[in-house]
Amino acid sequence: MVATALASLTTLPRVRLAPHPTPVDTLTRLRAALGPSCPALYMKRDDLLSFGMGGNKIRKLQTVLAEAMAAGADTLITCGGIQSNHCRATAAAGAAQGLRVVLVVNGVPQERPTGNALLDRLFGAEVRLVATRHDRAPMMDAVAAELVAQGRRPFVIPLGASTPIGAAGFAQGLEEVLVSGLRPDVIVHATSSGGTQAGLIAGCALFGLDARVIGISADEPAHILQALIRDLLESIAERLGGSRAAVGIDKEIVVDDGWVGEGYGIPTADSIEALTMVARREGIVLDPVYTAKAMAGLIGHVRAGQFSAAETVLFWHTGGQAGLFA
């Protein structure tokens, strides 16, 4: 069943947006700063995915875009916050495929767009602003209906491209880790709409890597994300024609929501420390909304003695640095 699912995964249609594997860096100086009980630390640099300013959304969009093209879409519609990395990546993907992109975003309008909002416009996306995150889905439906009435063929990409196909696109990234020769015991990453974590869990199971995947939440409570990730894994198994076990659904889904602080995008003392420490020890830039909190979680786990010094921990850098310039 694993072999069938793996074959389906590797042949899943995709639009190659970023054709090169991302590097895996060794975090020697960060490890030294965290003391002798710190495990070996590595970082998978998906912030360096060579398209549209990179980040985890590029992997998911490669398979989702193939789905959209197969459906004959001429317009992509998606949603997010005003500084959404996913919206920016979708805007870039649409531009590169000659598709129109409509972004439904919530937030306070900016007189002079910054960060991802600036990039959305640079990539030529049309932006429709709504007041709250609850208004996004109905507005996407309204935009889709409006476009259909004009004779266009819109394709709606749900929040974060965290669909089973998007998550399966992410699972492919695990092959790059194995090819690099690293076999981590633990993978730590930022989680929010669940697609990245579902992809990592499925990828580990399919490529035969027995690693604990720890998602550090940027906003949602753990139980909500765990349910979301479980549903995604069920659908991935169905889509790839594998058993539930083949995509790792029988393993515990670990989400740590202890690093959110006051809320989404609001820095904490720990996230500021993590962002600063990684910049000053490694010359690597994290983002303030997702990866700084995820790194704060990793550092917190090291300090609490939750890893053994003999283990290998891979931090999956999911990008998002445009958020620093928001």
Ligand X SMILES: Cc1ncc(COP(=O)(O)O)c(C=O)c1O
What are the catalytic residues?
84
Q: Of 75, 90, 172, 196, which one interacts with ligand X (CB under 6 A)?
A: 196
Cross-strand pairs, 41: 313
d(CA 237, CA 245): 8
The residues in 161-180 that bind ligand X, with binding defined as CB under 6 A, are 162
d(CA 168, CA 229): 12
Longest dimension (CA), the chain: 64
The piece of 9-17, 185-193, 270-278, 299-307 that touches ligand X (CB under 6 A) is 185-193
Work out whether 62 is an interface residue with ligand X (CB under 6 A): no
Q: Of 190, 247, 295, 296, which one interacts with ligand X (CB under 6 A)?
A: 190
Work out whether 290 is an interface residue with ligand X (CB under 6 A): yes
The piece of 4-12, 29-37, 194-202, 245-253 that touches ligand X (CB under 6 A) is 194-202
Total residues contacting ligand X (rule CB under 6 A)? 20
Q: How far is CA 57 from the centre of its chain?
A: 5
Q: Least separation, in Å, of the C-beta of 146 and ligand X? A: 27
Q: Which of 248, 300, 249 is nearest to 271 (CA)?
A: 300
The residues in 230-289 that bind ligand X, with binding defined as CB under 6 A, are 287
Q: Least separation, in Å, of the C-beta of 96 and ligand X? A: 19
d(CA 290, CA 296): 10
Our CA dihedral for 84, 88, 94, 99, rounded to 10 degrees, sits at 70
The piece of 130-138, 260-268, 296-304, 312-320 that touches ligand X (CB under 6 A) is 312-320
Work out whether 67 is an interface residue with ligand X (CB under 6 A): no
Cα first-last separation, the chain: 46
Give me 303's structure tokens.
């300090």
- Contacts with ligand X by CB under 6 A lie at 55-56, 85-86, 160, 162, 190-197, 287, 290-291, 318-320
